[in-house]
Amino acid sequence: MYDVVIVGGGPAGFTAALYAARAKLDTLLIEKMVSGGQMATTYVMENYPGFAEPISGPDLALRMEKQARRFGAQVLNDTVVDLQLDKVKKEIKTTKDILYSKTVILCMGAKPRELGCPGEKELKGSGVSYCATCDGAFFKDRIVAVVGGGDTAAEDALYLTRFCPKVYLIHRRDSLRATKVLQEAVFSNDKIEVVWDSVVEEIHGRFDVEGIKVKNVKTDESRKIEAEGVFVAIGVVPNTELVKGKVELNQAGYIITDDSMQTNIFGVYAAGDIREKVLRQVITAASDGAVAAYMAERYIVENRW
Ligand SMILES: Cc1cc2nc3c(=O)[nH]c(=O)nc-3n(C[C@H](O)[C@H](O)[C@H](O)COP(=O)(O)OP(=O)(O)OC[C@H]3O[C@@H](n4cnc5c(N)ncnc54)[C@H](O)[C@@H]3O)c2cc1C
């Protein structure tokens, strides 16, 4: 039986693993994809302290994993498919095994929100993408569109101008939510055309994306935009399907914790983007992970396990 099993290998998970392993707890982190979570899709990070020069998300992810492993944390590449959390001995079911642990730290993070318009599902992976840094290079010399108005949408649009001659930025309001510095960069980039007050009604194409239909929400007029790629950047939703009905969630589906990352179940903690909080960033995910691991250690000690 493990002392701590951590579900999810983003910055929250790897920081929890570092703190737990360094406290000499028998620690296992389970990650279903590549290490780093959303951070691994970020091509440049400028706001993680300690790096005066920008660092890439994948680079920071590798460093976090290496650091956690150095103290003995084990990393398993598998998907957690079920959890029994209400027992003293927590049960973690993966696609290959059933594992047991004294404590569980839920760090499954979040995933991109979908548009929900016709054509999106059908053309996913054939021109519809949720990660400009992962897929941008495939669109070299093509016209693309980014949907959204926050930091991620602005960053994506700027990043795509490296490869694409023209990038439409489609936003449903008449001003961007992105931080001022990013807005300035967008407005001063000749390759970016912002399509204000508009929503995507349909993405069309037979095998690959050929264009999109957008509607102006103020005039109700629709127009077609020729684009071979659509990058959706309209926010995220928490990965809480696994724990629905098992731990307390808020209306938006985020896990409710107290300040010590404790969920409503003893011995079960949540850290990072998956929990209800005001700022979802790498630094706050890392901070949550450290607190959760510390609390898991205290729980084990207090229960004289
Ligand atoms: C494009 C983009 C740019 C960003 N830029 C910045 C930035 O510049 N600075 C900044 O501070 N933040 C940035 N962020 C936000 C930051 O990446 C997130 O806040 C942070 O990654 C959250 O970490 P996390 O560990 O909580 O979750 P995540 O990073 O979402 O990681 C969760 C992990 O859990 C895994 N997982 C989920 N379910 C299971 C399961 N059932 N079994 C096993 N594994 C599972 C997932 O595969 C994933 O790897 C950006 C995010 C995006 C999308």
Would you please indicate which residues are annotated as catalytic (active-site) residues?
Answer: 131, 134-135
Ligand 1 in reach of 109 Cβ (< 6 A)? yes
In terms of Cα–Cα distance, which of 216, 242, 214, 243 is closest to 226?
Answer: 214
Ligand 1 in reach of 108 Cβ (< 6 A)? yes
First to last CA, the chain: 11
Q: Does residue 144 sit in the same domain as residue 212?
A: yes
Token output for 69: 């492993």
**Residue 46 pLDDT:** 85
Q: Does residue 19 sit in the same domain as residue 95?
A: yes
Mean pLDDT in order along the chain per 10 residues (305 residues): 98 98 98 94 85 94 98 98 96 98 98 95 93 88 97 95 97 96 97 98 96 98 97 95 97 96 98 94 97 98 86
Ligand 1 centroid, distance to 52 Cα (angstroms): 22
> Where among 232, 260, 291 does a domain terminate?
232
Q: Does residue 123 sit in the same domain as residue 94?
A: no
**Residue 36 pLDDT:** 96
Ligand 1 centroid, distance to 261 Cα (angstroms): 17
Q: Does residue 135 sit in the same domain as residue 272?
A: no
Q: Does residue 107 sit in the same domain as residue 118?
A: no
Q: Does residue 277 sit in the same domain as residue 216?
A: no
Could you tell me if 199 and 172 are in contact, meaning their C-beta atoms sit under 8 angstroms apart? yes
- The closest-lying atom of ligand 1 relative to the alpha carbon of residue 280 is 19
Beta bridge partners of residue 129, listed in sequence order: 231
**Residue 125 pLDDT:** 87
Q: Does residue 182 sit in the same domain as residue 216?
A: yes
At 96, which amino acid appears? K
Number of domains in the chain: 2
Ligand 1 centroid, distance to 206 Cα (angstroms): 32
Ligand 1 centroid, distance to 13 Cα (angstroms): 10
Query: Which parts of 154-279 are beta strand (E)?
Result: 166-170, 192-195, 198-204, 211-216, 222-226, 229-232, 236-238, 268-270
Token output for 296: 């898991």
DSSP, collapsed to helix, strand or coil, labels residue 92 as strand
Q: Does residue 106 sit in the same domain as residue 139?
A: no
272 sits in the region (left: phi over 0; alpha: psi -120 to 50; else beta) called: left
Ligand 1 in reach of 92 Cβ (< 6 A)? no
Ligand 1 in reach of 284 Cβ (< 6 A)? no
For a ligand 1 pocket test, name from 15, 28, 31, 39 the mutation site with the most ligand atoms within 8 angstroms of its C-beta. 39
Token output for 79: 């998907």
Which domain range does residue 156 map to? 114-232
Query: Taking the CB of residue 295, how many other CB atoms lie within 10 A of it?
Result: 22
Q: Cα–Cα distance between 219 and 215 in angstroms, integer?
A: 8
Q: Does residue 92 sit in the same domain as residue 164?
A: no
> Where among 232, 250, 283 does a domain terminate?
232
Ligand 1 centroid, distance to 304 Cα (angstroms): 34
Ligand 1 in reach of 251 Cβ (< 6 A)? no
Ligand 1 in reach of 30 Cβ (< 6 A)? yes
Q: Does residue 148 sit in the same domain as residue 224?
A: yes
Could you tell me if 300 and 102 are in contact, meaning their C-beta atoms sit under 8 angstroms apart? yes
Give, using CA atoms, the residue closest to atom 20 of ligand 1.
Answer: 282
Quickly tell me which residue has 């009905």 as its tokens: 245
Ligand 1 in reach of 275 Cβ (< 6 A)? no
CATH number at 172 reads 3.50.50.60
Q: Does residue 123 sit in the same domain as residue 157?
A: yes
**Residue 181 pLDDT:** 95
Which residues, in sequence order, are CB contacts of 175 under 8 Å at separation 6+?
149
> Where among 217, 232, 247 does a domain terminate?
232
Q: Does residue 97 sit in the same domain as residue 154?
A: no
